[in-house]
Structure 1
Amino acid sequence: MKNNIIIIGSGFSSLAASCYLAKAGYNVTILEKNQTIGGRARQLKKNGFTFDIGPTWYWMPDVFERFFADFNKKPSDYYTLDKLSPAYSVYFGKNDLITIEDSLDKISETFEANEKGSSKSLDKFISKAKDNYDIAIKDLVYNPGVSPLELVSFTTITRLNQFLTNVKQDIRKLFKNDKLRKILEFPVLFLGAKPSNTPSFYNFMNYADFGLGTFHPKKGMYQVILAMENLAKELGVIINTNASVNKINVENEVAISVESNNVVYQADIILSGADYWHTETLLDEKYRQYSQKYWEKKVFAPSALLFYVGFDKKVKNVEHHTLFFDVDFDVHATAIYDKPQWPEDPLFYASFPSITDNSTAPKGKEAGIFLIPLAPGIEDTEDLRETYFNKIISRLENLTSQKVTEHILFKESFCVKDFEKDYNSFKGNAYGMANTLMQTAFLRPKLKSKKVKNLYFTGQLTVPGPGVPPSLISGKLVSELISKHH
C-alpha cells in the first residue's frame, strides 16, 4: 500500500519535495495556511500591477534545470526565461554608479576601468569561485547534512582552509577599490550573514552572479511556483489552501496525524516545509528537538521591510535590479547582526520588473519593489515603515536626479509582523538561518526529527540553507531521505 504523506506549507522546498515523493509513488497532500500557494514567493496583484512579494532574483539557472530534468521536463516547458542585460546597477552616490553587465568579459572591463590591474584579480577570484561552485552545487549541497563525513572528500580536504578564512578577507586582499569590494561582497548577503562571517568557500555565489548571470522569468518569479504546482498536480499531488495546521499528533513517539480546521489528516509520514521553529511548537514539548534557547542563540538571516509601489510614469536612470550602496555598509550590517536596531541610513535594493517585462505594469507605468534588510525581531510599526519609505524615496530621487513621489499611485508594505503572521517565521526573519561556519551542512537543524519517527523537515532553516535554489535542493534531499527509510 502507498504511504500517505502530509506536507505542511507550499513554498519552493515543499513543492519540490511533493513532486519527488509523488514520483516515488507516495500519496501526497499539501496543506497551505494562506489563500494562495508559494510560501514567501507569493504574488500581489493590484490595479493592473503585478509584484513578486518575495524573491525577485533568479540565479543558478542550472539548479532549476536540474530539478525539472528529474521529471523529464525543462523550465521552458512552463515559463520563459530572459537573461537580464545589464544584470544590475549599483549606486554609490549621485551620478556615481557601476553597472554590472551580462558577461564576464564586460564585467572585467568595468573592473579595469575602476581599478587598474583588477581584471586579473577578478579572473583569479572567479575561477576559484567556479571551482567551488562546481563542487558545491554538483556535489556537496546534495548531501543530507546527516554526518560531518559528507564534507570530507579529496576535493574538500584540499580546500579546508576555505572554511577557516572568510569572503571579506579574500576580497580585500585582491581588490583595493572600495566600490568593487562592495559589489563582490553583495552576493553572499543572500546567504544571510556578513561577508566577514561567511566562509571563503561560499564565494561560489560570485560565480553565480558574474559567471552565470541574472535572469527573469516572464511575468515574475511566481511563474516558477505555478510551474511546480502544475508539475505536482500532474504527478497526483493534492493541494489544499486556507488549511493552517495547528497540531501534529504523536503516539508512542511516532507522528500519526495533523490537525487543520478541525479536520484530522492521518499520515504515515509528515513533512514540514513551514518554519522549523514554528513546526516544533505544533508538537508537545517533550517531542521538540530544539529549545527556544537554541533558536535564540542562532545567527538568523535578516528580515526585511518591503514596499510594492505603483508609479504612474516610467522611472528613469534605474535598471530592472538596482542597489543603493551610497551609505556605509558596515554600519548597516552592525544594526542587523551585532546591535539589532533600525539602521539610521539603510542600504536598500529596488526592482523595477516592468523595465524588462511589460506584463507587470500597465503601459507607461512602472512597478517598483523596494527592500531594506533589517534585524529580525525588531519593532515594526506603521510610523516606522512610513519614515523609512520617505528616507529611501528621497534618496532614490536625489541619486537618480528625478521626482517620483508625486507619481506614486499606491504602495503596500510588508515587514517583520507580516513575516510572523503570514509565514509563522521565527522573529519575522525573511531568509531563514545564516550560512556561517558553525551553521553549515551537518551543523544545521536536521531534515529528520531525532525525537519523533516519521517526522521530517525541509526549507531554509535546514540543509542546505537560505535562497531559492537551496530550497529546491532541500526538497530533493528530504524526499530521498524519506524514500530511503520508508
Structure 2
Amino acid sequence: MRKKIIIIGSGFSSLAASCYLAKAGYEVQIFEKNPTVGGRARQLKKDGFTFDIGPTWYWMPDVFERFFNDFNKKPSDFYSLTKMDPAYQVFFGDGTSISIPSNLEAIYAEFEKEEKGSSEKLRKFIDRARDNYDIAIKDLVYRPGISPLELVSPATAMRLGRFFSNISSEVRKEFKNPKLRQILEFPVLFLGAKPSDTPAFYSFMNYADFGLGTWHPQGGMYKVIEGIRDLAVSLGVKIEVNAPVEEILTENKKAKGVKVHGKEYFCDIVLSGADYHHSERLLPSALRQYSEKYWDSRIFAPSSLLFYVGFDTKLKNVSHHSLFFDSSFEKHAHDIYDAPKWPEDPLFYASFPSITDNSSAPQGKEAGIFLIPLAPDLEDTPEIREHYFNLIINRFEKLTSQEVKSKIAFKESFCVNDFKEAYNSYKGNAYGMANTLFQTAFLRPKLKSKKVAGLYFTGQLTVPGPGVPPSLISGKLAAGLIEKNEKN
C-alpha cells in the first residue's frame, strides 16, 4: 500500500516537492489556506489588469530547466520566456539612469562609460562570480543542510576566503564609482541581507544577473506556478484550496495527519511548506524544535510595502524592471537591519510588466508594481501606506519626467499586516530568513524535525534560502530526504 503524504501550503517549494514525491510513488495531498495555489506567488486581477502579487523576477533559468528536466519536461512545455533587454534600469539622484543590457559584452561597455578601467575589473569579478555559481548552484545548494561537512570539498577549500569576506568589501575594493557599486551590490538583496553581511561567495548572484540575464514568463510569474501545478496534477497530486491547516496531529511523537476546518486527515508523513515558525505553532509546545527566543534572534529578510497600480495611459522613460537608487542605500539598509523603523527616504523598485506583456493591462494602459523594502513587524496603517505612496510617486514623476498621479485608475496595497494574514509570515517578512554567514546551509532550520518523526519542512526559512530558484531546490531536497528516510 502506498504511503500517504500531506503537504501544507502550495508555494514553489511545496509544489516542487509534491511533484518529486508523486513521481516516487507516494500518494500526495496538498492543503492550501488561500483561494488559489502559489503561496506568495499569487495574482491580483482587476479591471483588465493582472499583477503578480509576489515574485516578479525570473533569474537562474537553469534551475527551472533542471527542475522540469527531472520530469522529462521543459519550461516551454508550460510557459513562454522572453529575455529582457534591457534587463533593468537604475535611476540615480542626479537625474541620470543606467540601463543594464542583456549580454555581458554590452554590460562591460556600459561600465567602462561610467568608470575608465572598470570593464576589465568587471570581467575578472564576473569570472569569480561564475566560478562561485558553478560550485554553489550546480552543487552545494542541492545538499540538504544536515552536516557542515556538506560544505567541505577541494573546491570550497580553495575558495575559503570568499566565505569570510563580504560582497560589499569585494565590490568597493575594485570599483570607485558609487553608481557601479550600487548596481553590483543590488543582486544580493534577493538573499535578504546587507551586502556588508553577505559572504563574498554569494557573488554568484552577480553572475545570475549579468551572465544568465533577466527573463519574463509571458503571463507573469504565476504562469510558472500554473505550470508546476499542472505537472503535479498530471502526476496524481490532489490539491485542496481554502483549506487552512489548524493543527498537525501527532501520536507518540510521530506525525499522523492534520486538522482542516475541524476535520482530521490522516497520513504517514507531513511536509510543511508554510512559514516554518507558524508550522511549529501547529504542534504542542513540547514538540517544537525552535523557541521564540531562537526566532527572535534570527536575521530575517525584509518585509515590503507594495502597491499595484492601474494607469489609464502608457508611461514613458521607464523599463519593465526599474530600480530607484536616488536616496542613500546605506541609510535605508540601516533602517531595515540596524535600527528597524519606517525609512525616511527609501529606495524603491517598480515593475511595469505591460511594457513586455500585453496580457498585463488593457491596450493603451500600464500595470505598475511598486515595492519598498522594510524592516519586518513595523506598524502598518492605511495612513502610513498612503504617505509612502505619495512620497515615491512624487520622486517617480521627477526622475522619469512625467506626471502620472492624474493617470491612476486604481491602486491596491499589500504590507506587513497582509503578509501575516495571508501567509502566516513571521513578523510579516516577505522573503524568509536572510542568508548571512551564520544562517547558511546547515546553520538554517532543518528540513527534518528533530522532535517529531515523519515531519518535514520546506521553503525559504530552511535550506537553501530565500528566492524562487532556491524554493524549487528546497522542494527537491525535502522530497529526497523523505525518500531516503521513510522507505520502510
TM-score, normalization by structure 2: 0.99
Q: Residue 210 of structure 2 aligns with which residue? A: 210
**Aligned positions of 1:40-439 closer than 5 A:** 40-93=40-93, 95-439=95-439
Which 4+ residue blocks in structure 1 deviate beyond 3 angstroms?
none
Give the distance between the partners of 2:415 and 2:313, measured in 1 at CA.
Answer: 26
- The structural deviation recorded for 1:95 is 3.5
Give the distance between the partners of 1:335 and 1:169, measured in 2 at CA.
Answer: 21
Give the distance between the partners of 1:402 and 1:138, measured in 2 at CA.
Answer: 44
- The structural deviation recorded for 1:384 is 0.3
Question: Over aligned residue pairs, what C-alpha RMSD do you find?
Answer: 0.5
- The structural deviation recorded for 1:250 is 1.1
Q: Residue 470 of structure 1 aligns with which residue? A: 470
Unaligned runs of 5+ residues in structure 1 are none
Give the distance between the partners of 1:103 and 1:270, measured in 2 at CA.
Answer: 44
- Are the equivalent residues in 2 in contact too, given 1:94–1:398 (CA < 8 A)? no
Give the distance between the partners of 1:93 and 1:388, measured in 2 at CA.
Answer: 18
**Amino acid of the structure 2 residue aligned with 1:70:** D
- Are the equivalent residues in 2 in contact too, given 1:94–1:400 (CA < 8 A)? no
**Amino acid of the structure 2 residue aligned with 1:426:** Y
Give the distance between the partners of 2:78 and 2:398, measured in 1 at CA.
Answer: 40
**1:120-151 superposed Cα distances (whole Å, 9 cap, x missing partner):** 00000000000000010110000000000000
- The structural deviation recorded for 1:94 is 5.2
**Amino acid of the structure 2 residue aligned with 1:337:** Y
**Amino acid of the structure 1 residue aligned with 2:195:** P
Give the distance between the partners of 2:224 and 2:35, measured in 1 at CA.
Answer: 18
Give the distance between the partners of 1:352 and 1:257, measured in 2 at CA.
Answer: 43
SS in structure 2 of the partner of residue 258 of structure 1: strand
**Amino acid of the structure 2 residue aligned with 1:232:** A
**Amino acid of the structure 2 residue aligned with 1:458:** T
**1:44-90 superposed Cα distances (whole Å, 9 cap, x missing partner):** 00000000000000000000000000000000000000000100000
Count the aligned residue pairs: 486
Give the distance between the partners of 2:307 and 2:293, measured in 1 at CA.
Answer: 32
- Are the equivalent residues in 2 in contact too, given 1:303–1:415 (CA < 8 A)? yes
Give the distance between the partners of 2:278 and 2:159, measured in 1 at CA.
Answer: 36
SS in structure 1 of the partner of residue 99 of structure 2: strand
Give the distance between the partners of 1:264 and 1:396, measured in 2 at CA.
Answer: 51
SS in structure 2 of the partner of residue 41 of structure 1: coil
- The structural deviation recorded for 1:173 is 0.4
SS in structure 2 of the partner of residue 126 of structure 1: helix
SS in structure 2 of the partner of residue 40 of structure 1: coil
**Aligned positions of 1:433-452 closer than 5 A:** 433-452=433-452
**Amino acid of the structure 2 residue aligned with 1:249:** L
SS in structure 1 of the partner of residue 270 of structure 2: strand
- The structural deviation recorded for 1:205 is 0.1
**1:317-356 superposed Cα distances (whole Å, 9 cap, x missing partner):** 0000000000000000000001000000000000000001
SS in structure 2 of the partner of residue 265 of structure 1: strand
**1:185-231 superposed Cα distances (whole Å, 9 cap, x missing partner):** 00000000000000000000000000000000001000000000100
TM-score, normalization by structure 1: 1.00
Give the distance between the partners of 1:67 and 1:119, measured in 2 at CA.
Answer: 34
Give the distance between the partners of 1:69 and 1:438, measured in 2 at CA.
Answer: 33
Give the distance between the partners of 1:176 and 1:274, measured in 2 at CA.
Answer: 43
- Are the equivalent residues in 2 in contact too, given 1:269–1:454 (CA < 8 A)? yes
Identity %: 70
- Are the equivalent residues in 2 in contact too, given 1:45–1:51 (CA < 8 A)? yes
- The structural deviation recorded for 1:305 is 0.2
**1:439-458 superposed Cα distances (whole Å, 9 cap, x missing partner):** 00000000000000000000
